[in-house]
Amino acid sequence: MVLNPNTSHGMTASIGRAAQAVAGPATEILAVQPEFGPVSIEGFYDEAIAAAGVAARVRASDAQDIQGLALACFGDPGLDAAREALTCPVLGIAEAAFHAASMVSSGFSIVTTMTRTCVIAEHLVVKYGFERQCRGIHGTDVPVLALEAAGNGLQAQLFAACQEALEKDRSDAIVLGCAGMAPLCEALQQRLGVPVIDGVAAAVKLLEALHGLGLKTSKRCNYARPLEKTYLGWAAPLGWPRRA
């Protein structure tokens, strides 16, 4: 399952296509989104509401059928919550992209959307322990939803931002800082001549690898199932465990 934490149907479809393009023959991709929440995630407030949408969507899924979950927003909203709720492997696209980039370069630059989202990426770099490999985070002030209509002008702008990032940071690879950038990945990689990592593709392939290794999320302690309790108000149906 590839879960787009924002509620843009166009972006969910685009993310689904990016996932399908790299999926192995035995993998069935299910691209979904929350029923409520922001159409794009460009700050902490958006992210807080989106994380609740992610939790609700995960809660509503048939956990038996999901072999792996990719959270397809670069802030990885609700990642730890989804890991608690499910037993299958769960990866965020930022997390997956950092791991992939660190294996094919000595250091990478992140090129993302709005400058105000750089701090979110910065927090994740620290959380996941990639401070040494991440050489810089660059905002382009391209709004997330503008990526849906990405024409040549936008590609040229992102190409220039990637080139500048590589030079300024003395880095060897680019991590694309938004799920909406997935369709531009191949062209950017060809033009730049360095590895360009789209987290959606990286998460799908890493999930396939974890599945192949027979690995699931540990339920021993820190990602144990959410405790049974009452949730009030609009969140009442979201309490754990699942009621019939």
Shortest gap between Cβ of 196 and ligand 2AL (angstroms)? Answer: 15
Shortest gap between Cβ of 110 and ligand 2AL (angstroms)? Answer: 9
Shortest gap between Cβ of 206 and ligand 2AL (angstroms)? Answer: 17
Beta-strand (E) ranges in 96-232? 108-112, 134-138, 173-177, 196-197
What's the angle, vertex CA 225, arms to CA 224 and CA 227, rounded to 5?
110
Using the minimum distance from each CB to ligand 2AL, give the nearer residue, 89 or 177: 177
Please name the amino acid found at residue 196: V
Shortest gap between Cβ of 104 and ligand 2AL (angstroms)? Answer: 21
The binding site for ligand 2AL (CB under 6 A) comprises: 6, 40-42, 73-74, 112-113, 117, 144, 177-180
Instruction: Please tell me the distance from the alpha carbon of residue 175 to that of residue 196, in angstroms, as a whole number.
Output: 6
Check if the beta carbon of residue 113 is closer than 8 Å to that of residue 147.
yes
Residues 6+ apart with CB under 8 A from 127: none
Using the minimum distance from each CB to ligand 2AL, give the nearer residue, 93 or 219: 93
Q: Is 69 helix (H, G, I), strand (E, B) or coil?
A: strand
**Where on the phi/psi map is residue 241: left (φ > 0), alpha (ψ -120 to 50), or beta?**
beta
Which residue's C-beta sits nearest to ligand 2AL? 41
Using the minimum distance from each CB to ligand 2AL, give the nearer residue, 40 or 171: 40
Instruction: Please tell me the distance from the alpha carbon of residue 179 to that of residue 71, in angstroms, as a whole number.
Output: 10
Using the minimum distance from each CB to ligand 2AL, give the nearer residue, 87 or 155: 155
Using the minimum distance from each CB to ligand 2AL, give the nearer residue, 18 or 210: 18
Shortest gap between Cβ of 210 and ligand 2AL (angstroms)? Answer: 22
